[in-house]
A and B are shown apart, each in its own frame.
Chain A
Amino acid sequence: MQEEKSFSINWRAIDWWLIAIIFVLAVFSYLGIRGASPLYGEDTKQLIWYGLGIAVMLGVMFIPGRVYYMLAPILYGLSILLLIGVLIFAEPINGSKSWFILGPPSFRLQFQPSELAKLVTIFTVARFLTDRRRRIEDGDMQESFWGLWPVFILFALPMALIVVEPDLGTTLGMAVTLLAMLTVSVRPRYTLTVVGVYASGLLALIFLYFFFPQLFFKIIKEYQWRRITAFLDRSIDPSNPDQYQLYYSLQSIGSGEFWGRSVPEQELLTFNRRVPFAQTDFVFSVIGERFGFLGSALLIMLYFFLLYRMIRIAMQTTSTFAHSVIAGIVGMFTFQIYENIGMTIGIMPITGITLPFLSYGGSSLLINLFAVGVVLGFSVRKESV
């Protein structure tokens, strides 16, 4: 009886704003990808993915949070297996073993297990935090920092598997996600402790760099180091392969000025593919060049609004599970948006992080829309966990 009830939703409570934002992002995504003059009709394909993804999102809305709560351990185990599998079976693309390639060459589907792992880890950790909260409220356990050890293990396992792919960006994203989840679920000083651990890890790396460089370069790959130095180097030289992408990205975004660059399309830097990966990682360069400050700022506001709506939903629900999940999803999106846009405008080092909802890529769009669907689901019913 109660099960049945949890599948029914309160239509009035649906966050139509959130859904509207998704539709506007779909338009941005289409224009951004088309502006990069993709070779294989990625702009149209992205629209198809959006259709599929929105359907999934709306469908997911009907699934009660309980389901993820219950399935979390199984999904977690599955995604760990996939992460191990991708390391063993995948062919490296751009030097990292992050993708499974499915389907015939004519309609190639690249699936990134780490995308799934991110979301599933959020569910699993949320489940743990929910149980923990209940036990503390029931007086079964004392709140303590060390009691959080399963959280760290649950995050550390997929992060370790992802960092060896290597995919440093996603790993860092998960680290930020962890912080976001802890922020809303545990005492602030525990979160600050984790921040302190991150900071001392960073200091340790800096120490190694200066005193044990050999060890340092065992941990940080040479190409990663070059990206960091290329980012720190303020004089940007287009003939330096590590700065080439950043140079043209800054050129294209900067030349957008306020209204967007008003020259024939074929003269746009992004249109004639001066900026590599402009339909995926560097899609923001296209937006910046075509739509200028107006369009870029609008897009950033849109993202901000999206995150705002999600946090609003979190604030309106009483479910601890929902709080944790939404905090995780918000943290995940925030990191990706900030890192991706930040790297295109030169305030973050370049990593392979895509811009959620805009970059071309079916599997990540599906997962992101799935996540939004989960959040929407929390808004339309009173959660039982």
Chain B
Amino acid sequence: MNQVVRRFNVLFMLIFFLFALLILRLTVLQLVDGELYAQAATNINKKVYTTPGQRGWIYDRNGVALAKNELVYSLSFLDEGFKKAQIEQIAINLEKIFQVYAEKDERYKAMNRVTIMEKLDAGYAYVPKTDDPTQRETLIKEAKDGTRFDPAEWELQDAPMMLYRHVPRKVAQDIPDTIMFQVQERMQDFPGIKVVVDARRVYPYGSLGAYIIGYTRDIPESKVEDYLPRGYTSFDRIGMTGVEASYEDVLHGLPGKTDVLMNNLTRRLETREVYPPSPGANIVLSIDAAYQHTVENILREEIKNLNTRPVNPLPNVKEAMAVVLNPYTGDVLAMAKVPGYDLNVFDAPDFSARYQTEVAGREQNVLVNGGYQPGSTFKMLTVMLALQDGLMRPDEKVLSTGGVKIGDRYLKDFKAGGHGWVDGKRALKESVNTYMYEVALRLARQAGPGNAYRTQFDHVREVAAQFGLGVLTGIDLNEEMVGYVTPDSSDFRQLGNLAQMMIGQYDGYTPMALAQYVSTIANGGYRVRPHLVYSVNEPEENSRTPGPPVYFVEGEVLGRVGIDARWIRYVQEGMREVTQPGGTAYAVFQGMNVPVAAKTGTVQRGTGQTNGVMVGYAPYDRPEIAFVVIVPGGSGGADSAGPIARRIVAAYFGDEPLLPLAGVPDEATRPENQP
């Protein structure tokens, strides 16, 4: 009997041991780590929703809205615990509705159940039935671009969810009213689908200021991760170019935060708004939309004129660009390139077709990142450098006989037979190359014997940089880049090239950099940062006006150039001479009410073509504007860029009427809403 008791005791000890293990584990779980678990548990049931704030509007300096939001309808989906078959049915029902619009609106072409299921993101995905990898790929590709889709070739499988189940997914944005009505009338066919009011970015004046305003797009998939921590949702749009991009942080509304308490079945138990969404700030640009519009129109008309004029027509001229700055404040008054593109294209139903014909090849903002050699417009810098370095005396004259031999090259003046004895001012007035070559020779000599002159390239660049040439101007655009920098290899550092550099045939600069250079000359030597935004304003309820300003973007002096004021004055006078009788731009600005200082440039592009360049400022005695005009493929600067420059100045000073703004009709971007 004792034996039985002993054996039961063994059993009892084992039980005791096992139960002690349970208690031990509970101690760790509930007493040691309990607090951590309790904290985590609170967050499991509480979900935070963010509601995006409205994006700020963009206005011109007079309060004309250039980028605004329009209310549109979107479809969102929330899985309320549906079964697989129900979700499939939702996708099929949506497919039916969308396919009716596939003809009218290319966005719906690819809206078959495969892509819809992807957007529903409910834990299922259609996969091709075939096992052949190449065939699979074609099927997926065809379904994605909407060229061909056959439901029989697909089967529904489980798939991981991209977003948490409780996060509503956007199924279709900006749907036509007809789809909206259909979905609302047949709600029972679309459980979980909701029609939500959403905002669409609209640019009422189409291509106006395309390179200033920029456009928005959905956050690229590769960048979503970067934006989510900053309060963006995956449906949000971000500025891609222009002010839309560079002032993204200002324009983007602050998301509202709502705590939602919910159980496992995605049923909401309680909703508590922590703080409401706040709209992004509005932006007022420094441009006057009417003036910008007029400048764009002048470019367009003058391109046409150059193409078709009876005398010396230039059919190769395809584009032209102009920048107008306030030389003291850095306000960008106009910044235009023609042809531009309609900013609404990116939201258009027929986006891909329109992109090909209207946008492709024009998207690059060459105004701030193209590289254009300045040609003779660089000569002010040459003269200032020569005077500052003591290479030339202000009254010293150089004999131009029509050309000069430098190294193994014979470099010519554009005037056959030469200009005779010229000083610096006259060298600017008549654009005398020989004077500049002489500066190059003296510069080389100053450096020392042999190849020592090569360091002078860097010296010239250093002085040019003080005027904004070859460096970033600091304009408030993300896409700004330094133009074209000739490589530093010894192949390019020939004596002949130093001479070329002195006549602006070496490095290439952006039109904006040239504008900063001219402004610096015009204002007496202060490099001012150009800016497109005039002020950032508090959002208002109806957005009819920009609202009270929060802060102004002031003109900022980036530096004072290391050139004596008298030498700046010297080239100012030279530039004034350019528009006087005998000057290269005399004919261009003849008879104008405002005194203009200017410089022409004709850039040899090596392809036999030339770029026409015209820079200048007005009025000469009290500059209000500095301007740069570049006509790629144009003839001489005075001939092709000149008429544009004249009209731009005239329009600014009221000698040419401003063109009234013409809005893009709403129907142009929304064909399916036409009656």
The residue that B8 contacts in the complex, of A184, A239, A341, with Cβ under 8 A, is A184
A292 nearest in chain B by CB position:
B30
A296 within 8 A of partner (CB): yes
Instruction: Report Cα–Cα, A355/B16, bound state, in Å.
Output: 18
State which residues 1-23 of B face A: CB under 8 Å: 1, 4-5, 7-8, 10-12, 14-16, 18-19, 21-23
Contact B264 A274 (CB under 8 A): yes
Given A184-B11, A261-B41, A300-B22, the answer on whether A255 and B264 have CB atoms closer than 8 Å is: no
How near does chain A come to B5, taking the closest CB pair, in angstroms? 5
A358 within 8 A of partner (CB): no
Instruction: For B41, list chain A residues within 8 Å (CB).
Output: 251-252, 254-255, 261, 269
A307 within 8 A of partner (CB): yes
A270-283 Cβ-contact flags toward B at 8 Å (1 or 0):
00111000000000
Instruction: Report Cα–Cα, A253/B42, bound state, in Å.
Output: 13
Contact B22 A342 (CB under 8 A): yes
Contact B29 A254 (CB under 8 A): yes
B10 nearest in chain A by CB position:
A183
Instruction: Report Cα–Cα, A239/B40, bound state, in Å.
Output: 15
Contact B44 A251 (CB under 8 A): yes
A311 within 8 A of partner (CB): yes
Instruction: Report Cα–Cα, A293/B44, bound state, in Å.
Output: 21
Given A251-B41, A254-B36, A255-B40, the answer on whether A345 and B11 have CB atoms closer than 8 Å is: no
Contact B263 A272 (CB under 8 A): yes
A372 within 8 A of partner (CB): no
B34 within 8 A of partner (CB): yes
Instruction: Report Cα–Cα, A95/B37, bound state, in Å.
Output: 32
Contact B35 A266 (CB under 8 A): no
How near does chain A come to B29, taking the closest CB pair, in angstroms? 5
Q: How large is the interface on B (under 10, 10 to 19, 20 to 34, 35 or more residues)?
A: 35 or more
How near does chain B come to A298, taking the closest CB pair, in angstroms? 11
A143 within 8 A of partner (CB): no
B45 within 8 A of partner (CB): yes
Given A255-B40, A272-B263, A304-B19, the answer on whether A318 and B34 have CB atoms closer than 8 Å is: no
A146-168 Cβ-contact flags toward B at 8 Å (1 or 0):
00000000000000000000000
Instruction: For A258, list chain B residues within 8 Å (CB).
Output: 30-31, 34
The residue that B30 contacts in the complex, of A185, A272, A293, A327, with Cβ under 8 A, is A293
Instruction: Report Cα–Cα, A308/B12, bound state, in Å.
Output: 7
A16 within 8 A of partner (CB): no
How near does chain A come to B10, taking the closest CB pair, in angstroms? 6
State which residues 239-259 of A face B: CB under 8 Å: 239, 248, 250-258
B33 within 8 A of partner (CB): yes
Contact B15 A334 (CB under 8 A): yes
Instruction: Report Cα–Cα, A185/B10, bound state, in Å.
Output: 12
Instruction: For B560, list chain A residues within 8 Å (CB).
Output: none
- DSSP majority for the A interface? helix
B415 within 8 A of partner (CB): no
A303 within 8 A of partner (CB): yes
Contact A184 B38 (CB under 8 A): no
A125 within 8 A of partner (CB): no
Given A253-B30, A255-B41, A257-B31, the answer on whether A273 and B265 have CB atoms closer than 8 Å is: yes
Contact B29 A250 (CB under 8 A): yes
B64 within 8 A of partner (CB): no
The residue that A304 contacts in the complex, of B15, B38, B160, with Cβ under 8 A, is B15
Given A254-B36, A300-B23, A342-B22, the answer on whether A183 and B7 have CB atoms closer than 8 Å is: yes
How near does chain B come to A32, taking the closest CB pair, in angstroms? 16
How near does chain B come to A15, taking the closest CB pair, in angstroms? 16
Instruction: For A253, list chain B residues within 8 Å (CB).
Output: 26, 29-30, 37
B261 within 8 A of partner (CB): yes
Given A184-B7, A261-B41, the answer on whether A254 and B263 have CB atoms closer than 8 Å is: no
Given A304-B16, A323-B4, A330-B11, the answer on whether A250 and B37 have CB atoms closer than 8 Å is: yes
B152 within 8 A of partner (CB): no
Instruction: For B42, list chain A residues within 8 Å (CB).
Output: 263, 267
Contact A255 B15 (CB under 8 A): no
Instruction: For A198, list chain B residues within 8 Å (CB).
Output: none
A314 within 8 A of partner (CB): yes
Instruction: Report Cα–Cα, A251/B43, bound state, in Å.
Output: 11
Contact B263 A255 (CB under 8 A): no
Instruction: Report Cα–Cα, A291/B439, bound state, in Å.
Output: 93
B161 nearest in chain A by CB position:
A239
Contact A266 B269 (CB under 8 A): yes
B27 within 8 A of partner (CB): yes
How near does chain A come to B33, taking the closest CB pair, in angstroms? 6
A185 nearest in chain B by CB position:
B7
Contact A267 B30 (CB under 8 A): no
B459 within 8 A of partner (CB): no
Instruction: Report Cα–Cα, A331/B18, bound state, in Å.
Output: 12
B4 nearest in chain A by CB position:
A323
Instruction: For B35, list chain A residues within 8 Å (CB).
Output: 257
Instruction: Report Cα–Cα, A16/B400, bound state, in Å.
Output: 128
A347 within 8 A of partner (CB): yes
Instruction: For B37, list chain A residues within 8 Å (CB).
Output: 250-251, 253-255, 257
Instruction: Report Cα–Cα, A17/B27, bound state, in Å.
Output: 27
B31-66 Cβ-contact flags toward A at 8 Å (1 or 0):
101111110111011000000000000000000000
B25 within 8 A of partner (CB): yes
State which residues 283-339 of A face B: CB under 8 Å: 288, 292-293, 296-297, 300, 303-304, 307-308, 311, 314-315, 318, 323, 327, 330-331, 334, 338
Contact A307 B45 (CB under 8 A): no
How near does chain A come to B27, taking the closest CB pair, in angstroms? 7
Contact B12 A345 (CB under 8 A): no
How near does chain A come to B30, taking the closest CB pair, in angstroms? 4
A180 within 8 A of partner (CB): yes
Contact B30 A341 (CB under 8 A): no
State which residues 160-216 of A face B: CB under 8 Å: 180, 183-185, 188
A316 nearest in chain B by CB position:
B5
Contact A254 B38 (CB under 8 A): yes
Contact B264 A311 (CB under 8 A): no
Instruction: For B21, list chain A residues within 8 Å (CB).
Output: 338, 342, 347
Contact A327 B8 (CB under 8 A): yes
Instruction: Report Cα–Cα, A356/B18, bound state, in Å.
Output: 16
Given A183-B10, A253-B29, A345-B22, the answer on whether A315 and B269 have CB atoms closer than 8 Å is: no
State which residues 328-368 of A face B: CB under 8 Å: 330-331, 334, 338, 341-342, 345-347
Contact B8 A311 (CB under 8 A): yes
B158 nearest in chain A by CB position:
A241
Instruction: Report Cα–Cα, A269/B46, bound state, in Å.
Output: 11
How near does chain B come to A85, taking the closest CB pair, in angstroms? 32
State which residues 160-201 of B face A: CB under 8 Å: 160
Instruction: For A288, list chain B residues within 8 Å (CB).
Output: 26, 29-30
Instruction: Report Cα–Cα, A183/B5, bound state, in Å.
Output: 11
The residue that A254 contacts in the complex, of B23, B30, B45, with Cβ under 8 A, is B30
Contact A315 B4 (CB under 8 A): yes
Instruction: Report Cα–Cα, A272/B263, bound state, in Å.
Output: 5
How near does chain B come to A327, taking the closest CB pair, in angstroms? 6
How near does chain B come to A82, taking the closest CB pair, in angstroms? 29
Contact A254 B34 (CB under 8 A): yes
Instruction: Report Cα–Cα, A204/B19, bound state, in Å.
Output: 29
Instruction: Report Cα–Cα, A180/B11, bound state, in Å.
Output: 7
Instruction: For A307, list chain B residues within 8 Å (CB).
Output: 12, 15
Instruction: For B18, list chain A residues within 8 Å (CB).
Output: 334, 338
CB<8 Å pairs between A and B, sample of 20: A184-B8, A239-B160, A250-B29, A254-B30, A255-B37, A257-B34, A258-B34, A266-B263, A267-B45, A288-B26, A293-B30, A300-B23, A315-B5, A318-B1, A331-B11, A338-B18, A338-B22, A341-B22, A342-B21, A347-B22
Extra contacts, 9 of them, besides A296-B26, A311-B12, A346-B25 (Cβ < 8 A), are: A183-B11, A252-B41, A253-B29, A254-B34, A256-B30, A258-B30, A261-B38, A266-B261, A345-B22
Chain B residues at the A interface, C-beta cutoff of 8 Å: 1, 4-5, 7-8, 10-12, 14-16, 18-19, 21-23, 25-27, 29-31, 33-38, 40-42, 44-45, 160, 261, 263-265, 269
Q: Which 4 A-B pairs have the closest CB atoms?
A: A254-B37, A272-B263, A257-B34, A255-B41
